[in-house]
Structure 1
Amino acid sequence: MLDPRLFILNAEMGFNPGSMIIQFVMFIILLALITKFAWRPLMNVMQEREEHVANEIDTAEKNRQEAERLMNEAQDELQGTRQNAQKIIEDAKETAKSEQQTMIAEAKDEAQRIKDNARQEIEQEKERAVQALQEQVGTLSVQIASKVIEKELTVDEQQKLINEYLEQVGEDK
């Protein structure tokens, strides 16, 4: 260590230019050593750190832009999917409506066919009934005529005979 008495001695002696030059040279050497071994490596580390931070910022910005692009693509795809789903729903509604109308038309056609068949059956039954009635009337007419021919009847007897045959016809039904 330095002896404090030495400083006091120098202070008493006054201004010493040689000592000052030595101190200045020592300061320059110390400054050169500090610059070479401490300042430049420190500056290099600071420069590397600055570049690293700048690279990290650039990478983060690129990642943010990529994430934003991907998010926009996902939103566009989602919108497209929604539109497709809406179109599918609309198509299904139209298909259902078309099928409903087809089923209604088929049901109406079937009902008309059933009605037409029923009318034909009714008409056929009516024709059979008329034909049967005509046969019965013909038979009755022949029977009445044969009875009338067999005996001559008075008006009251004829009326009675007609009523009997009508009752007989009613019972046969």
Structure 2
Amino acid sequence: MLRVDFNLVLTMINLVVLFLILRKFLFRPVMDIMEKREAMIADGLKNAETSQTEALELKNQYEAKLQGAKEESSQMIERAKQEAKAEYDRIVNDAGTEAKKLMQSARDTMDMEREQALRDMKSQVASLAVDAARKALLDSGHGADDQSVYDQFLKEAGDPHGRTEE
């Protein structure tokens, strides 16, 4: 049968005491350290996942804002082009209107100057005709002098046909 020896009992007691001592001073602290490390790693992974989620959200917000900014800048450029075209058209229309006014003013001035020149010429012709008639009346009776009076008149008035004295 089985014989229990006192040494065997002491060895078993030593093993149980050793196990309890190791469990108290070695296994528990090691297990606590391992649990703490496991918790720390789990927190690190959770924080990394949270950070990654936040980064993706920020990236999506940034891309949305960037797209909005692109659309806004496109609208601003289009609006600026439309305003520039409207300003260009207004300036061209104003310039055309001003040019028409200047042309009409120049025509009016030219017409007035032509009319004034015609009046001056009529006045001079009338004055010359009166002078010629006066001379003709004073010298009436002298046929040769009539030709000289006529030549003198043409000399002073200017011959419109380009005749010169013969």
Band the TM-score falls in, shorter-chain normalisation:
0.7 to 0.9
Shift of 1:68: 2.0
What's 1:133 paired with?
121
Structure 2: gaps (5+ residues): 159-166
TM-score scaled to structure 2, two decimals? 0.78
- Relative to structure 1, is the Cα distance of residues 31 and 137 closer, same or farther in structure 2, using a 3 angstrom cutoff? same
CA distance in 2 between partners of 1:159 and 1:85 (Å): 92
What's 1:61 paired with?
49
Q: Is 1:47 the equivalent of 2:21?
A: no
What's 2:106 paired with?
118
Amino acid at match of 2:125: V
Q: Is 1:78 the equivalent of 2:66?
A: yes
Task: Please list, as runs of the form range in 1=range in 2, the aligned pairs for 1:154-165 lying within 5 A after superposition.
Answer: 160-165=148-153
| Alignment root-mean-square deviation, CA | 2.5
Shift of 1:94: 2.1
What's 2:132 paired with?
144
Shift of 1:90: 2.5
Cα deviation per residue 1:131-166 (whole Å; 9 max; x = unaligned)?
111112222233333344441565x86565334213
Provide the identity percentage: 28
Range that drifts further, 159-168 or 36-45: 159-168
Q: Is the 8 A contact 2:125 2:157 kept in 1?
A: no
CA distance in 1 between partners of 2:119 and 2:142 (Å): 30
CA distance in 2 between partners of 1:16 and 1:43 (Å): 38
- Relative to structure 1, is the Cα distance of residues 31 and 153 closer, same or farther in structure 2, using a 3 angstrom cutoff? farther
CA distance in 2 between partners of 1:102 and 1:157 (Å): 72
CA distance in 1 between partners of 2:65 and 2:135 (Å): 103
TM-score scaled to structure 1, two decimals? 0.75
Task: Please list, as runs of the form range in 1=range in 2, the aligned pairs for 1:1-20 lying within 5 A after superposition.
Answer: 17-18=4-5, 19-20=7-8
Amino acid at match of 2:119: Q
What's 1:7 paired with?
none
Aligned residues: 155
Structure 1: gaps (5+ residues): 1-14
Shift of 1:16: 6.8
Q: Is 1:166 the equivalent of 2:154?
A: yes
What's 2:90 paired with?
102
Bigger Rg over Cα: 1
Q: Is the 8 A contact 2:128 2:153 kept in 1?
A: yes
Cα deviation per residue 1:17-72 (whole Å; 9 max; x = unaligned)?
41233322321222222223321222122112111110111011111211221222
Amino acid at match of 1:66: E
More helix by share: 1
